Amino acid sequence: MPTSPIHEVLSELMRLTRGLNQVCPIGYLTRMQAATTAEAFYAEALRLGYAVNAKELRDTGDERVHHWCNLIWRHMKEVRSHLTLILFPHSPEQKADWLDSLLTSPGGKFAFRDDGSLHVDLVHASLDGSTLHIGRLWTHVGGVNDPLESYAIRLNPVQCADVAERLRRASSMQDWIDLELHYPPAD
């Protein structure tokens, strides 16, 4: 039985993936079920989210496949909303400091969104004091198979508290994998 919002979202993703697998067994269900870490599960879920909007699946001519692909594609927005932190700098000085940290990597120049925010993948992030370590930023360029980056940005106390809470909720994904994915309750 799902115990938190992220558990409910992940359980629904698995239900949808099982539905797609029944009409078009393409391996995502097996790989997602085999995942033992949040990182591995999320990587496979992201690949599935990309695949359901790709030509090979969407243009099969099978309306059942198209139906499940649409449901999964829409649901992946919900999954990502639970596992993405939208972070705004609190001052121009903090933004400049973050930019200095981000420019250590080629992808860093694309990090800030048009609204000035960073979209941080919580599955690949950790907080050490007031320093947020970031393994993946969602940018307008790149894809789900891009290698992980390594950024570190400093946060103020309010940002630290918010990030710590979001990381705590996202980390419950591992509990879901351990308890629900590998040992689902009997129907």
When pLDDT is averaged across residues 49-78 and rounded to a whole number, the result is 90
Kindly report the pTM of this predicted structure: 0.86
Kind of pairing, strands 151-154 and 118-121? unpaired
- pLDDT above 80 for 183: no
pLDDT digits (tens, 9 = 90+) for 114-167: 898 999 999 999 999 999 999 888 865 555 555 677 889 999 999 999 999 999
Locus of tokens 């789900």 = 144
Question: Does 11 share its domain with 62?
Answer: yes
> What's the CA gap between 37 and 123, in Å, rounded?
10
Q: Which of 185, 178, 163, 137 is nearest to 40 (CA)?
A: 178
Q: Would you state the structure tokens that stand for residue 129, as one six-digit string?
A: 């004091």
Question: Does 39 share its domain with 56?
Answer: yes
Residue 74, pLDDT score:
95
Question: Does 127 share its domain with 156?
Answer: yes
Residue 13, pLDDT score:
97
Q: Which of 10, 90, 20 is nearest to 52 (CA)?
A: 20
Question: Does 101 share its domain with 45?
Answer: no
pLDDT digits (tens, 9 = 90+) for 34-43: 999 999 999 9
**What's the total number of domains in the chain?**
2
Q: Cβ(172)–Cβ(7) under 8 Å?
A: yes
Question: Does 55 share its domain with 130?
Answer: no
Calculate the average pLDDT of the chain: 88
Domain-located, residue 19:
yes
Question: Does 59 share its domain with 47?
Answer: yes
- pLDDT above 60 for 185: no
Look at residue 161 and give its three-state secondary structure.
helix
Question: Does 104 share its domain with 157?
Answer: yes
Work out the pLDDT band at 56, boundaries 50, 70, 90.
confident
DSSP one-letter string for 134-150? ES-B--SS--TTSPP--
The domain of 126 spans 84-173
Residue 112: what are its φ and ψ, rounded to 5°? -80, 135
For residue 43, count other CB atoms closer than 10 A to its CB.
Answer: 18
Domain-located, residue 187:
no
Residue 117, pLDDT score:
92
Residue 77, pLDDT score:
94
